[in-house]
Structure 1
Amino acid sequence: MHPPAILLLGPTASGKTASSLALAQTLPIEIVSVDSALVYRDMDIGTAKPSADERAQCPHHLIDVVSPEENYSAARFRADALALMHDITARGRIPVLAGGTMLYFKALRDGLSDLPSADAELRRQIDAEAAERGWPAMHAELARLDPDAATRLEPNDGHRIQRALEIVRLTGRPVADSYAQREDDDVPFRLLTIALVPSDRAVLHRRIEDRFAQMLEAGLIAEVQALRARYALDPAMPSMRCVGYRQVWDYLGGRDDYDTMKFKGIAATRQLAKRQLTWQRQFREAWQDLQEIDCLRPDLAATVRQTAQAWLEG
């Protein structure tokens, strides 16, 4: 029988950190972060990175592993996560993969698609076109070339529009064709997948608003200023496209005033949560082991712990 591993996924502000730490109270676990922002060093406030006290409660992995100047791909995550899962199991402990980057969860469970590698020159060309025409116009071009891909993207989601156009221009085929050509890589673990979902999305939205305000009070603007001073960054880098950082970058550049920056940061975080929940609905249909738990219930952490214990004992 394969060794056990627990996947804990949910939208932003759904209580993943507290729930994963609750597992550590009764189970011999180590936590592997599944978050495309937590991998970056010196990006602490805007990523809601676990505190030193929280990280001291049990071992954490894939946090602070790359510079904000670097890229970190789904392929690299899958390789890193599988290696860590084997190491954790060899120590007689249970890997808990917790986070909200749904693409990483999909890459881990379903394998990697046959996507072309990034083409730096083509990306510069697309960025130059976007600077001249705007991302909505680039989205319209994508809709002409690949209508299905365009319907899944917001007209101002420059990062994803850029990648979709890059794939279409490199392959001459719709994006879905490349995703369909997937490596058959089974995960050699017995998986429990717990998805945190809100029974009332308005409550989750209020949490998001409160949390972003707390990030600003905690010094998010100063954090971005320090990042700009320490590293050679530009707003096109994946690290600076993270929700919150992108809006503060525009504020520091004089593009928006403070209230507009705050409004955009909250709106972008809500859009992120919406995309995460869309991913989770797709996972519900595809993954038979997935169990959903209302992230708004007052006994969430205890329920997650009880669900995992019952599964391990079953």
Structure 2
Amino acid sequence: MGSDLNRQIILIAGPTASGKSALALRLAEELNGVIINTDSMQVYNVLEQLTARPGKAELERVPHYLYGHVSPSLAYSTGRWFSDVEGLLKSPELFEKTLIFAGGTGLYFRALLGGLSTMPAIPEAVRSFWRKQDGELGAEKLHEMLVLKDPLAAASLRPTDSQRIVRALEVFDTSGRSIIEWQKETGRALINAATARKIIIEPDRQWLGSRIAKRFEAMMEEGAIEEVKSLLSLGLSQELPAMRAIGVKEIAEVLAGRIRAEQAAELATIATRQYAKRQMTWFRNQLGDDWERVPYP
């Protein structure tokens, strides 16, 4: 595939709650299209409300792919998503369709356009060691260790981002090279960046902050608490990506009787706004001038 992929493709990136799904839905209906999930949290099958996955009404309007197809017990990676998309692109039923990739995970868009870097296979002993260290020492201590081992990677990661810090330590211990160096060695792109239409939604921050608050209130009313209850009943490791979805920790505190639902909503709203700010910064710095920038969908 790659540069010889002769079909209409639209990419829609943007921060959470910015209206990506609504824009994708409208374009899909206008252009005989399908929507492909480009968000790392919307792949999980338990968290429909908390991850703002398209609902039944949206799914009935146009075909959607790679939404809610992964168990929260799995650590779904960019590589797995890339492989799933590669399979979709070979599906005969999609050959005549406009493909609309919509979501907020920057690394997914980077992989689509520039290929996926080849990472070293991590031995189980190395993986287990750093997972154990994370549980015992915490993210900030591991970040201090990463500064000494791989300052290049450490400079690019927040000291609280334990998942990526652990990953960087695993890669360095296995290969002796920075994960940043590995990431620069990209592979084959899945789509032609020159012919795809690329859109970034860049909403007003005050508008987005208000929208985030209203959306989380709606999530709470429409079943988010029951979703988290179901997720917790699985007894999964706290280190799995699904367990780190914004709102899970806060609602778990409600279920444990330690805070009220209103407090959980406030805390989750703050966390979501912070996440949206990081997304906007990433898109602004990582995606080039060939992307259309629109203030709202």
Superposed displacement of residue 202, structure 1: 2.5
Distance 2:51 2:192 in 1: 30
Q: How does 1:284-295 map to 2 (within 5 A)?
A: 284-285=287-288, 289-295=290-296
Match of 2:169 among 165, 171, 188: 165
Partner of 2:25: 21
Stretch deviating more after TM superposition (128-137 or 25-34): 128-137
Q: How does 1:1-314 map to 2 (within 5 A)?
A: 2-87=6-91, 90-185=94-189, 187-188=191-192, 190-198=195-203, 200-229=204-233, 231-249=234-252, 251-252=254-255, 258=261, 261-285=264-288, 289-295=290-296, 300=297
Superposed displacement of residue 7, structure 1: 0.6
Superposed displacement of residue 104, structure 1: 1.0
How many corresponding residue pairs? 292
TM-score, length-scaled by structure 1 = 0.84
Letter in 1 for 2:91: D
Distance 2:92 2:282 in 1: 27
Superposed displacement of residue 155, structure 1: 1.8
Residues 69 and 232, structure 1, Cα contact 8 Å, conserved in 2: no
Q: Point out where structure 2 has 5 or more consecutive residues left out of the alignment.
A: none
Stretch deviating more after TM superposition (116-125 or 18-27): 116-125
Q: Point out where structure 1 has 5 or more consecutive residues left out of the alignment.
A: 301-314
Superposed displacement of residue 132, structure 1: 2.9
Distance 1:135 1:259 in 2: 28
Distance 1:119 1:238 in 2: 20
Distance 1:89 1:289 in 2: 30
TM-score, length-scaled by structure 2 = 0.88
- Cα RMSD, aligned residues only: 2.4
Distance 1:254 1:176 in 2: 42
Distance 2:126 2:256 in 1: 26
